[in-house]
Structure 1
Amino acid sequence: MKKVAIIGGGISGLYIASLLRLNSNYEIIVYEKNNSVNLEKGYGIQLSVNSIKLLNKIGFQNINFKEKFFPNKVNFYSLKDKNKICDLDISAFNESEVKYTTLQRFILIDFLTNKLPSNLINFNKKVIDIQSVSKTTKVIFEDKSSIECDYLIISDGAFSKTRSLITDKEIKPKYFNSIAVRGNIDRKYLQNIDHNNISLFLGSNLHSVVYPVNHNGYFNFVTILRKDLNNEELADYSLFDSKEFISSALLEISKQVDNNIIENLIDIKCFPIFTSTEIFQPKNKNIYIIGDAFFSFPPTFAQGASQSIEVAHELYQNFENIDDQFNKERIKRTKMIDRKSRLNYFAFHLSNPLIIFVRNLLLRYLVKNNRFINSYLGKIYKN
């Protein structure tokens, strides 16, 4: 039996742990640096059909219907004139039990956690060193304990310390010159929008998204706002929790977004957006990187969670048989989604009135063009 150590108890790590448990050839254990998995009730996530199909392999379709939502469209609105631009049918790629899904993130994490026996997740395990020992890998933790494993899977997030340890240099994502402001809002405070679908508001140097996360009138709100921050500000983690910083961000957003929404947000959080600049491949053939540790995307294609699930499933399928072709295809796909995410970011944040006019005309045409939709979305949603 091969021993597999998984570093990180997030979406990707928990998902591949659930898959590997199905194979009696592997003994698995998850190591998480925090004292528990993050089940904080906060923001929502979107899962496109490419990830729903994979999650259903471990029973995701059995989650309580009321705890998730199935939007059929993305409605585009202009923040400048408050009018609807067009709508995009995202249900075109749906199947009977495989549908574009929105829900609260903690529901997914709870589902994945419950797929594992409690003794398979070890908490308060911060990795401080990685060593090669003959044909195995030795992982040393801050509490002075250590383990040896046949395979090591690194899935500890965008700021992965474990990834840096295996390269002997610090690898950091790059600040995307934007911050995200997240919150929740009750349906009764959302006026003049379609409550059954995703609303995307395009503004000058910002865009906002509002979508239902369950059938109880609970909606997620997020705004991506261009924001220049210096290194000192980025290093001050307390800055983004301060009332002053959050208030200043909300004030800036309120210049374009409906004040009725801003005034009724709850559970507001603010954080800087970091994205990957390169894809790192370990030299050791028995060490693998997945999730945000593998690559962090701009949040403008709603593919962060879906790609974390996808790359974990690909690793599971190819376990012990990771060849160059697998790596090449994953890297090619990752770069494609990254390019499209950056293009979306550019298109969503335009300021010039003439360019905005042209963009809106193009949007109205493209969202109804099946050939374009199958190319732009289909290449992502059809895994």
Structure 2
Amino acid sequence: MYNLKVIIIGAGIGGLTTGIALRQAGYKVEIYDKAKELRPAGAGISLWSNGVKVLNRLGLGENIAQIGGQMDRMEYRSHTDELLNDIDLMPLVEKVGQRPYPVARTDLQDLLLEAFGREDVQLNSRCIAVEESDHHATAIFEGDRKVTGDIVIGADGIHSVVRRYVTEKEISLRYANYVNWNGLVKADKNFTSKNNWVIYVGEGKRASMMPVGGDRFYFFFGCPMVKGSTVEPEKRREELAKLFQGWATPVQKLIQNLDPLQTNRLEIHDIDPLDRLVRGKIVLLGDSAHATTPTLGQGGCQAMEDAEILSRYLLTTTLSVEDALKRYENARKERTANLVLKARKRTDTIYSKEGDRTQKWYDQLKQENPEDVIEALAKIILSGPLN
């Protein structure tokens, strides 16, 4: 199929990666976003090897290596600083054929914007509906503006408008029963070594630091909390100090050094696996299709895999646009559903939804063979399209 015009709703990781892939395939691509200014949600992202491989294929491998962190090890510690597990990640790199690159979200979005064409993303364009005719798909924006193409791609996130059309029903978000705080802080040996990802766990909570480019750590905290709690940004350091009182010295130093005004505080949600990702010439990808909790670090990577598979079927299937999109759906629905549910189960374990299971996990971490951890990570990565 040649000379397709593709309309993408959403200029996040999924929308931009898809836009780059489809432009490289020779299609006319337009990206629209409701924001007046693009500001990524969250401070960092653990970009595992399956996501990096998609960027490599798009010719962005050197760029991502420049902004990514050098993560050679992964370390679990108890909240009292007992070493539970120390994992060399180089066997994983050798097994899957690519290093992971944790990155600051702003750096990643800037990279993707430059690759697509920053000036070609049309901001302040709030999509309120989509519709189809026999030969075209149309996005409708506030102000009664309409844009018509051969395909509309909903990459408009967990609160997707396009999803309502595709599923023909309202999809409720599921609160994951915890709050996540995250941000960036200058790397300091008092936190951990600059090539190490450290995760502190205990009391049904966790605190973590991983290296990203620019000599920084991406940090996050997680704690079970009832839905609807709010804390003013200037009070977030005090909130974390209270919630993580008595935790290991590096965690205390992190709390002391973070900027509360630059620390995000997010109630974490996901959605149940969808019955369909495609309706006619309208297709979902990324969080609009399979929003997940971040406990597997696969949210952004799965959006990138979506981009790879969607562009592949549009290029190689000549029956019809609708046929190519259904093949995309068949290739993506089971993998993404499985990862959403796997992440959900892991979230419940980490954040003590069932206390006994959480304690068993702490005990297991002390005895777990690092090779088993590598094998589990490799299985997720190698189940992707670029294995």
Question: What TM-score do you get using the length of structure 1 for normalisation?
Answer: 0.86
Cα gap change, 1:106/1:118 in structure 2, threshold over 3 Å: closer, same or farther?
A: closer
Whether 1:4 and 2:29 are equivalent positions in the alignment is no
Whether 1:157 and 2:149 are equivalent positions in the alignment is no
Question: What SS does the aligned partner of 2:36 have?
Answer: coil
Question: What SS does the aligned partner of 1:281 have?
Answer: coil
For residues 90-112 of structure 1, the C-alpha deviation after alignment (integer angstroms, 9 at most, x for no partner) is 33232598211112111111111
Whether 1:112 and 2:112 are equivalent positions in the alignment is yes
**Identity over aligned pairs, percent:** 22
Cα gap change, 1:211/1:329 in structure 2, threshold over 3 Å: closer, same or farther?
A: same
CA distance in 1, matches of 2:288, 2:311: 17
For residues 285-318 of structure 1, the C-alpha deviation after alignment (integer angstroms, 9 at most, x for no partner) is 2111001111111111111111111112111111
Give structure 1 stretches of 5+ with no counterpart: none
Cα gap change, 1:329/1:243 in structure 2, threshold over 3 Å: closer, same or farther?
A: same
The structure 1 residue matched to 2:254, chosen from 250, 254, 261, is: 261
Question: What SS does the aligned partner of 1:322 have?
Answer: helix
Residue number in structure 2 paired with 1:179: 179
Return the offset for 1:341.
1.8
Whether 1:278 and 2:273 are equivalent positions in the alignment is yes
CA distance in 1, matches of 2:85, 2:188: 24
Whether 1:368 and 2:331 are equivalent positions in the alignment is no
Question: What TM-score do you get using the length of structure 2 for normalisation?
Answer: 0.86
Residue number in structure 2 paired with 1:86: 85
CA distance in 1, matches of 2:122, 2:187: 39
Task: Say whether the 8 Å CA contact 1:18–1:116 is kept in structure 2.
Answer: yes
For residues 136-163 of structure 1, the C-alpha deviation after alignment (integer angstroms, 9 at most, x for no partner) is 1222110321111111100011111222
Task: Say whether the 8 Å CA contact 1:246–1:269 is kept in structure 2.
Answer: no
CA distance in 2, matches of 1:351, 1:275: 16
Task: Say whether the 8 Å CA contact 2:7–2:151 is kept in structure 1.
Answer: yes
CA distance in 1, matches of 2:247, 2:352: 13
CA distance in 2, matches of 1:259, 1:211: 16
CA distance in 1, matches of 2:120, 2:366: 50
The structure 2 residue matched to 1:318, chosen from 287, 310, 313, is: 313
Return the offset for 1:351.
9.7
Give structure 2 stretches of 5+ with no counterpart: 315-320
Task: Say whether the 8 Å CA contact 2:278–2:325 is kept in structure 1.
Answer: no
Q: What one-letter code is carried by the residue in structure 1 that aligns with 2:244? A: I
Whether 1:293 and 2:291 are equivalent positions in the alignment is no
Return the offset for 1:204.
1.0
Task: Say whether the 8 Å CA contact 1:39–1:106 is kept in structure 2.
Answer: yes
Return the offset for 1:242.
4.7
CA distance in 2, matches of 1:202, 1:32: 38
For residues 35-72 of structure 1, the C-alpha deviation after alignment (integer angstroms, 9 at most, x for no partner) is 233269x7121111111111011222222755321212
**How many aligned residue pairs are there?**
369
The CA RMSD over aligned residues, in Å, is 2.8
Task: Say whether the 8 Å CA contact 1:5–1:30 is kept in structure 2.
Answer: yes
CA distance in 2, matches of 1:273, 1:209: 16
Larger deviation, residues 193-202 vs 62-71: 62-71
